[in-house]
Amino acid sequence: MNGKGSSVAASPHVQEVEISGHIIDSLILPKILDAISARGGTFRIDRITIGQRRSDPSYALVEVQAPSDEVLREIISTISDHGATPVGDVDCRLEAADIDGAFPPAFYSSTNQRTEVRLDGRWIPVADQEMDCGVAVDPQTSTARCVPMSEVRKEQLFVVGHGGVRVFPEDRREGKHGFEFMNSAVSTEKPKGVAVRQIAQDLHRAKRDGQKTLVVGGPAIVHTGSVQHFSRLIRGGYVHKLFAGNALATHDIEQALYGTSLGVRLDCGDIAEAGHEHHLRAINHIRRAGGIRKAVEAGELNSGIMFECVRNNVDFLLAGSIRDDGPLPEVITDVLEAQRQMREQIRDVSFCLMIATTLHSIAVGNLLPAWVKVVCVDINPSTVIKLNDRGSAQTVGLVTDVEPFLRALVHEVEALERSAAS
């Protein structure tokens, strides 16, 4: 093993250490990092929490890498004097939840990175990896999984503190996502054709390998006249799940029933007579029919994204918000219930395409583990930046208008299909 550019799995000379206390103001953290470098080691800060108030301690989880075991031991011995403590040599500490719906006070707060906890001297993987959760452990079955706060049940055992927990961050430097050309997470300047081609390849690969692609979409897909492109992707078998809100479905159905989106005719851009009522009439129509699925089955809804989802067995999940009209009967208006169902549905997702929605993109980004590839397409760069800021660092952004993007994507996907067939 040459050790160059080695990761956790590839190099045995690695030790995680924790440093806690007032390590920033006292310069203890930089001192420890300098000590690692000065002795021939390298480091990676896996996690850092800065105390908010003056008396709040800070915390850093640092992976120390060394060219040999001897050097590693020397480094660890040196930095231990400054207060760094090796992690991993203890079992995780467990504490029972004392009430429903809240963690024990010192709960370990999860990341979206692959995580293991040590139980009876053995490392066990944490299932259902999700950021901002607690880690519930069942010692009987030796299993651990992420549990959101709202689902905590009294007596459930949770990991407290950082001891006995190890995190394996995805290495973003290795271009694992196949987007090596985009060094910055948000690309406004780079050639979009290359990006679109790579997204098409991902969709194609997922379909070929039986993996699941999730699309999170906003109503701009309809406003911009992209329904036909998106419908082709669904018919082609490239979309397996759709998460959206009341708006996307409503505007899509309005277009299917009246040819307008928020009263604007999509064929010529004119405002239709009494068009402002169309979206409400569309909702009313579907509510009278008993839902989207029933309207399709009754032959009342015959085109559009929602129609294609029903026809092609694409699971769709519509999550409500406070400004919704109606809403459509399928819209889940209890946000915690919507989160719960979204959690269930993302378990087998391997690729996620987020198109023109900030709210739903962030909501889904919060739920996805870090190893699910995410591509976020938005005319507004801030959506992608927000996703990254909230910890969904695996997100690759493409700043572009939706319609030309989807048109190009359909073109690329169909070209791939033709070349695969020939």
Residues 199-238: x where in contact with another protein by CB under 8 A, - otherwise, as a string: ----------------------------------------
Residue with tokens 């467990």: 94
Contacts (CB under 8 A) with another protein, residues 67-86: 81-83, 85
Tally: H helices and E strands in the chain: 13, 20
Q: Are strands 93-96 and 114-119 parallel, antiparallel or unpaired?
A: unpaired
Q: 3-state class of 37 per DSSP?
A: helix
Q: Is 256 exposed, middle or buried (0-12, 13-18, 19+ CB in 10 A)?
A: buried
Between 48 and 335, name the residue whose CB sits nearer to another protein: 48
Tokens of 337: 């219930």
Residue pair 82/32 in contact by the 8 Å Cβ criterion: yes
Closest of 308, 287, 343 to residue 237, by C-alpha:
308
Q: With binding defined as CB under 8 A, does residue 88 bind another protein?
A: no
Contacts (CB under 8 A) with another protein, residues 281-320: none
Residues with Cβ within 8 Å of 211's Cβ and at least 6 positions away in sequence, in order, are 205, 348, 350, 351
Q: Are strands 114-119 and 165-168 parallel, antiparallel or unpaired?
A: antiparallel
CB atoms within 10 A of CB 240: 23
Taking the complex as a whole, the smallest distance from the CB of residue 74 to another protein amounts, in Å, to 16
DSSP state of 362: H
Q: Is 23 exposed, middle or buried (0-12, 13-18, 19+ CB in 10 A)?
A: buried
Taking the complex as a whole, the smallest distance from the CB of residue 19 to another protein amounts, in Å, to 9
- Radius of gyration of the chain measured on its C-alpha atoms: 25
Determine the residue type at 402: V
Residues with Cβ within 8 Å of 339's Cβ and at least 6 positions away in sequence, in order, are 148, 150, 363, 367
Taking the complex as a whole, the smallest distance from the CB of residue 53 to another protein amounts, in Å, to 9
Which of 6, 7, 21, 259 forms a contact with another protein (CB under 8 A)? 21
Taking the complex as a whole, the smallest distance from the CB of residue 51 to another protein amounts, in Å, to 8
Taking the complex as a whole, the smallest distance from the CB of residue 24 to another protein amounts, in Å, to 10
Q: With binding defined as CB under 8 A, does residue 28 bind another protein?
A: yes
Between 56 and 70, name the residue whose CB sits nearer to another protein: 56
Taking the complex as a whole, the smallest distance from the CB of residue 389 to another protein amounts, in Å, to 28
Between 53 and 323, name the residue whose CB sits nearer to another protein: 53
Q: With binding defined as CB under 8 A, does residue 50 bind another protein?
A: no
Between 17 and 384, name the residue whose CB sits nearer to another protein: 17
Residue pair 312/236 in contact by the 8 Å Cβ criterion: no
Q: Rounded to the nearest 5°, which phi and psi values hold at 227?
A: -55, -45
Taking the complex as a whole, the smallest distance from the CB of residue 18 to another protein amounts, in Å, to 10
Residue with tokens 């760069």: 381
Between 26 and 302, name the residue whose CB sits nearer to another protein: 26
Which of 2, 55, 141, 313 forms a contact with another protein (CB under 8 A)? 55
Which of 5, 12, 27, 139 forms a contact with another protein (CB under 8 A)? 27
Q: With binding defined as CB under 8 A, does residue 25 bind another protein?
A: yes
Determine the residue type at 134: G
Q: With binding defined as CB under 8 A, does residue 93 bind another protein?
A: no
Residues with Cβ within 8 Å of 408's Cβ and at least 6 positions away in sequence, in order, are 192, 193, 196
Contacts (CB under 8 A) with another protein, residues 347-386: none
Between 57 and 175, name the residue whose CB sits nearer to another protein: 57
**Residues linked to residue 114 through DSSP beta bridges, in sequence order:** 168
Taking the complex as a whole, the smallest distance from the CB of residue 90 to another protein amounts, in Å, to 12
Taking the complex as a whole, the smallest distance from the CB of residue 311 to another protein amounts, in Å, to 60
Which of 11, 15, 20, 383 forms a contact with another protein (CB under 8 A)? 20
Taking the complex as a whole, the smallest distance from the CB of residue 32 to another protein amounts, in Å, to 10
Residues within the interface to another protein (CB under 8 A): 20-22, 25-28, 30-31, 54-55, 57, 81-83, 85
